[in-house]
Structure 1
């Protein structure tokens, strides 16, 4: 297996390669993460496909790439960049268009909440705005610490502290919307019973108090659901965990993914839109994390340059390939960066009303929506047709 060497610049790629064993035992320091990219992932996939085909006697077989979310993008890009190795691809919930600022994610969250209850996003907005105002007064910190069951007394010293706390609470709604009513329970995932309907039910329950109190009740419900004693909402502690370069770090996956957002994709789910229900974590908050965690040279302009290069390399919404199908769910916020309408007969979209992230990739069950069942059947028929070509 090989990797491409880079001089550290986002723009200057060197075509020479080095054995992966040369640095395979190193940690996740920023100097090593420079090898972490979608381009390298595709090169690894190509090498894996070639070797496995030779070992298994499948060199003349037609291969299909499947993926969901970022791997969905990789599946599409694998077909795009290595058409001689992969015959077709199913790119589910794939954000194929890179963008630095992605407030549309929260706009979809608002619409998904409103589809359940028109008042729900309005109540969330009122609660979030109330909390933002209280965070300006240190006298409220003790009560906020208690209301949201924080692991330590709330400390607000910078705008980053405020933004991190607000984003953490918004994440309760963002995660539930993204995975609403999916079938992850088959693999032992906890919390699949918490749906948009459940959260909006809490936000509509006047017996719990005003919208701020209900917002806090949602936070406590999520802690109970995931068997957590308290909510960790400290930006300082977040930085500590994200700066840990050990492979055994609890934040190892987060450190890797955020690095790719800083160097390839952006995807920052900011509150920079009036058409979403949250407050207080604008684009500069997301961008600053790149410099705080990895390298001060990672700034808004370098991230913007990287995003431009990503779209130039893969094509973004205008991907130019054949035999790729793009399933997306209407509830899933990531569909805003995906292909939701047919580009042509060779690049069809399957837009599934009422489903969330990667819904079509989970095992079927009796309570599946009819349109989800039809979407799976449609993808199957497409693959049957393409494999005959």
Structure 2
């Protein structure tokens, strides 16, 4: 809801990410480019992951309806000699609860927990039907849940999916005991990275959680994730077969021009950069190219979703809109149309210019203060990709429309930001798959919804593992689509998917 988690200069990225949101919940996520999102989505490298971060003021306004509460949490669940504690934020909605009803737990992800999800969303429809108490727990190190004094690499060692799952387990145990909910059936919900957490919570703590809905969950960790951009190609082609070809031609033209410094003044003007383009290293070029590619990556990932209820900007920009611009010959050659897409995105997010400086991004990502420009989730999420997941959306495949940001560009950031080597990244990813099982999950009562347009489905469960671990593959929908509030324009297959999940919950809650 929050994977899957994204730019321009990181500061630009942050402003956009905070305006956008990945599966909703800031209770979910995308990667730095490292993970799940594109340019205007929040990424990882550029901070591209699953999610967008809420504007702080939006979150505060929505918090008014559901008062934020605080849970005393352990800093290190795996060291009994460490007694340090911190306060973790959570929200409660008792409006649907009926005595004896289940408890629904929405899992937070790589961004601030958004109280909008306490007011709307498909999970609340299910809660009303089953008389459930609804809780949402913010992920450690995101939003207001600050376990440590800063975001230094030494402190980030307490940031991991395993610690997050232990947070969930301790929260569930303590709340159940204090609120008389020990004998209630608990159901975990999550989308994107939190979707993975929902599946793993049921897998690793089956005695505490009865069932899980793991939406758009990338359960297979991988250092190199070129399949992301392959899905982007296919998703663009689903609108118009010429569209990805035009994008590729434009991208190739730009790459060729970057080899000649004489073109930099024109490129600066064409893309309305905040300062004259400077390409002195491979990272400078890769950052700029990924930033522009991110326009398409983000729109594809969230195509025609219903994030508007969260106050998200830009939901009117769809694959159809981008392909319409790329196919408009009146704008000039494909390169000029590519620039028009960038200007449209800047106008949509009220950006006066595009800061495409890798040095700015580097500086921001190395800032360890909670007040730093990357503290909204970028520094934290990229750390998780370097130490657990990889998810680097590289251009290493020939079957995608972009050029110029290979795997080595992404992995090098792990060394630059956290002193984590490429070998250590590979080992960490292997350990993640060994620990959770990747595609070979052995559990029960977990449903895995995914959308065909969403690039993250390439790392998810899209076919039934067995009758008790079903997949719901929704043609024509994007990231976490089934989690958003229903609307009249939703595709029939999306409506049917929501109904199917509801019936599964009804069946499982009887077991």
TM-score, with length taken from structure 2: 0.73
Match of residue 305, structure 1, among 427, 438, 443 = 427
CA distance in 1, matches of 2:331, 2:83: 60
Q: Which residue of 1 aligns with 2:64?
A: none
Q: What is the Cα deviation at residue 181 of structure 1?
A: 0.3
Match of residue 265, structure 1, among 366, 384, 389 = 389
Q: What is the Cα deviation at residue 151 of structure 1?
A: 1.0
Q: What is the Cα deviation at residue 14 of structure 1?
A: 5.6
The answer to whether the 8 Å contact 2:75/2:147 transfers is no
Q: What is the Cα deviation at residue 301 of structure 1?
A: 1.1
User: How far does the alpha carbon of each residue in 1:204-252 deviate from its partner, in whole angstroms, 9 at most, with x for none?
Assistant: 0000010000000000000000111111111100011111111122311
Pair 1:383-2:505 in alignment: yes
Q: Which residue of 1 aligns with 2:253?
A: 130
CA distance in 1, matches of 2:86, 2:315: 40
Q: 1:10-49 to 2 correspondence within 5 Å? A: 16-21=81-86, 24-49=147-172
Match of residue 285, structure 1, among 389, 405, 409 = 409
SS in 2 for 1:380: helix
The answer to whether the 8 Å contact 2:148/2:155 transfers is no
Q: Give unmatched runs, 5+ long, in structure 1.
A: 6-12
Q: Which residue of 1 aligns with 2:483?
A: 361
Pair 1:320-2:436 in alignment: no
- Which structure has more RCO (C-alpha within 8 Å, separation ≥ 6)? 1
Pair 1:240-2:363 in alignment: yes
Q: 1:1-389 to 2 correspondence within 5 Å? A: 1-4=73-76, 16-21=81-86, 24-252=147-375, 253-295=377-419, 298-389=420-511
CA distance in 2, matches of 1:57, 1:172: 48
User: How far does the alpha carbon of each residue in 1:65-94 deviate from its partner, in whole angstroms, 9 at most, with x for none?
Assistant: 000000000000000000011000000000
C-alpha root-mean-square deviation of aligned residues, in Å?
A: 1.3
SS in 2 for 1:311: helix
TM-score, with length taken from structure 1: 0.96
Q: What is the Cα deviation at residue 50 of structure 1?
A: 0.9
CA distance in 2, matches of 1:281, 1:87: 42
CA distance in 2, matches of 1:282, 1:368: 36
Total equivalences in the alignment: 380
Q: What is the Cα deviation at residue 179 of structure 1?
A: 0.2
CA distance in 1, matches of 2:222, 2:332: 39
Q: Which structure's residues are more often helix, by fraction?
A: 1
Q: What is the Cα deviation at residue 15 of structure 1?
A: 6.2
The answer to whether the 8 Å contact 1:4/1:16 transfers is no
The answer to whether the 8 Å contact 2:210/2:445 transfers is yes
The answer to whether the 8 Å contact 2:76/2:84 transfers is no
CA distance in 2, matches of 1:250, 1:376: 37
Runs of 4+ in 1 over 6 A off after TM superposition: none
Q: What is the Cα deviation at residue 54 of structure 1?
A: 1.4
Q: What is the Cα deviation at residue 149 of structure 1?
A: 0.7
Q: Give unmatched runs, 5+ long, in structure 2.
A: 1-72, 88-145
